[in-house]
Structure 1
Amino acid sequence: MAGMTREQAQAQAKRRQEITNRLKEVLIERLMLPLEPDEIAEDSPLFGSGLGLDSVDALEIVVVVESNFGVSIADDDMQAFRSINTVVDFIEAKQEEMEG
């Protein structure tokens, strides 16, 4: 956030929170997770011991991200899909590329 005004930093933080909330809501809905958005920690692993998602769920996450956030995901982008935070980082970076 270096070089940003306070307003820009606040706007960026608000946008990140909106992306995070929307991502959680859509994942819960599409993957039929028995959770509320606030029960999903942003840094918990999506796969394995975290939310326990599998490779089929990974494909669904790709569809969710592409259709809800307007970004394209290449095969080598999948390493970004470790947690909610890493997915949000990916979405923000892709959206900035598209805007820039």
Structure 2
Amino acid sequence: MTSADENLQREVAALLVDSLNLEIAPESIAPQAPLYGEGLGLDSIDILELALVVSKRYGFQLRSDDENNVRIFSSLASLTEHIAAHRTL
């Protein structure tokens, strides 16, 4: 992972914590830990809120009907990878 990738991952972790008002430190989110359910404990409403914040912050649309959402939101690492590949801002 490059330093730019690491910086983006830290930025996305902070965005996740701030936007969802989580009571954890961004650096405590394990990159491969699941965001949904057992891992970080996010639910479908949290994922929708996160998708909206990510869309606004990085300038691309995350759609609720995207067949790749399970993969995109599976972990901090996968979300960061998707953002890196699609961001316009």
Show structure 1 runs of 5+ residues with no match.
1-11
Bigger relative contact order, structure 1 or 2 (CA pairs below 8 A, ≥6 apart):
2
When the two structures are aligned, how many residues end up with a matched partner?
85
Do residues 92 (structure 1) and 84 (structure 2) align?
A: yes
In the alignment, which residue of structure 2 is the partner of 1:42? 31
- Taking structure 1 as the reference length, the TM-score comes to 0.77
Give the structure with higher Rg (CA): 1
CA distance in 2, matches of 1:91, 1:36: 21
Please show how residues 17-96 of structure 1 align to structure 2 within 5 Å. Answer: 17-74=6-63, 75-76=65-66, 77-79=68-70, 80-95=72-87
Q: What amino acid maps onto 1:15 in structure 2?
A: A
Show structure 2 runs of 5+ residues with no match.
none
Provide the aligned C-alpha RMSD in A.
Answer: 1.5
How far 1:57 sits from its partner (Å)? 0.2
**Comparing both structures, which one devotes a greater share of its residues to helix?**
1
Which of 11, 15, 18 matches 2:4?
Answer: 15
CA distance in 1, matches of 2:84, 2:44: 24
Give CA-to-partner distance per residue, 1:80-100, whole Å, 9 cap, x none: 1110011011111213xx6xx
* Greater than 6 Å deviation, 4+ residue runs: none
Q: Contact conserved, 2:52 with 2:62, CA < 8 A, in 1?
A: no
Q: What amino acid maps onto 1:82 in structure 2?
A: S
